[in-house]
Structure 1
Amino acid sequence: MGYLTTHVLDTAQGMPGQGIKIEVFRIKGSEREALKTVTTNDDGRCDSPILEGDEFTVGEYELVFHAGDYLRGQGFKADEPRFLDVIPLRFSVSNASEHYHVPLLVSPYSYSTYRGS
């Protein structure tokens, strides 16, 4: 059975992104269906899979990372509005029986992601 996980890494400080709020959406055409909101733990991960079982199906999803709140809390000085604040990552699941790991590597001025396992 497949499932979805994430991991946030603060590349500016070389540490996990702790306490970051992540909103989870399913995309159907032009509609966004809110599924849940999770928060990263001390290791920058969620305590359990974000989606699994019947919740995790073939289709398009969006993870919305509230990185600006985290960066403010870390004391990064930046002009307001910040260059990066809320980061949406939209991706597709083609095989819901696989593990989709969608990490976020973030700093005050850049981010990247990839599909891990």
Structure 2
Amino acid sequence: MTSPTPPAASGLAWFDGADEHAVRAALLRVCPSDPWAARLIAARPFPGTGALLAANEAAVAALGDDALAAALATPATGPAITRAGLTAVTAAGLTRLAEGTATVSTHVLDTAAGRPAAGVPVTLAVRHGRGAPFTPHATGGTDADGRCGGLPALPGAADAARLTFAVDTPFFPEAAVTFRVVPGEHFHVPLLLSPYGHSVYRGS
């Protein structure tokens, strides 16, 4: 396994630099409140996690009664809690987002043979923002179980990743999949392979 890029940086770089749609989607997984998410997006960039958490406290405090009730009534925030409790829940989620990194793993299955595909070379590349080129991040290969784990965490500012598989089937010399990433989350992206077709999905 090789990794030509530097060690992963804080996810706060992604939070500050990613496009608004991607950041909003990540925020709404922390707390499904549009007004809360909008305030945090409008306050970017943040010099550090402390500034992000201070903005979070202000955003929760600014929620009107209806918006607060809607945020507190959703499963994402857990059992019924107070405004202070919501601040704590969102702070924990934001800390994971700001200080975490995305990780990637994959698994190749030969559907024609009905078994894992061993020895498939895999290249992982990353992109640092929309419009930026993809750059190599790591290389590896599938083991006897068809799995390729141990890939290094992505740089904090990465907003997308690409896995390229040197499958060398009768029709496909390689197969590639590109997908969005979010700091603090793991992305397991298996490849189902046959001589004249392939498919991918986000697994667990």
Give the TM interval when normalised to the shorter protein: 0.7 to 0.9
Larger RCO (CA within 8 A; separation ≥ 6): 1
Aligned CA-pair RMSD: 1.8
User: Superposition pairs for residues 1-117 of structure 1, below 5 Å?
Assistant: 2-28=102-128, 29-46=131-148, 48-52=149-153, 55=155, 58-68=158-168, 71=169, 82-93=170-181, 95-117=182-204
Q: What do the CA deviations read for 1:3-35 (whole angstroms, capped 9, x no partner)?
A: 211000000001001000011111242412111
Contact 2:126 2:158 in 1 (8 A): no
Distance 1:103 1:66, change over 3 A: same
Cα pair distance change 1:18/1:30, threshold 3 Å: same
Structure number with the higher helix fraction is 2
Gaps of at least 5 residues in structure 1 are 72-81
1:7–1:57 CA distance, 2 compared to 1 (3 A): farther
> CA 1:34/1:63 → structure 2, altered by over 3 Å: closer, same or farther?
same
Listed as ranges, the gaps of 5+ residues in structure 2 are: 1-99
Closer, same or farther: CA 27–110 of 1 in aligned 2, 3 Å: same
When the two structures are aligned, how many residues end up with a matched partner? 102
- Contact 1:5 1:51 (C-alpha < 8 Å) held by counterparts: no
Q: CA deviation at 1:51?
A: 3.1
Identity among equivalent positions (%) equals: 36
Q: In 2, distance between residues paired with 1:3 and 1:10? A: 24
- The one-letter code of the counterpart of 2:165 is F
Larger Rg: 2
When normalised by structure 1's length, the TM-score is 0.77
Going from structure 1 to structure 2, the CA distance change for 1:85 and 1:56 (only over 3 Å counts) comes to: farther
Compute the TM-score of the two structures, normalised by the length of structure 2: 0.46
For 2:199 and 2:108, locate their aligned partners in 1 and report how far apart those are by CA, in whole Å.
Answer: 10
| Structure with greater proportional strand content | 1
Q: Matched residues in 2 for 1:20 and 1:26: separation?
A: 20
Deviation per CA, 1:26-50, whole angstroms, max 9, x where unpaired?
124241211111010000012x332
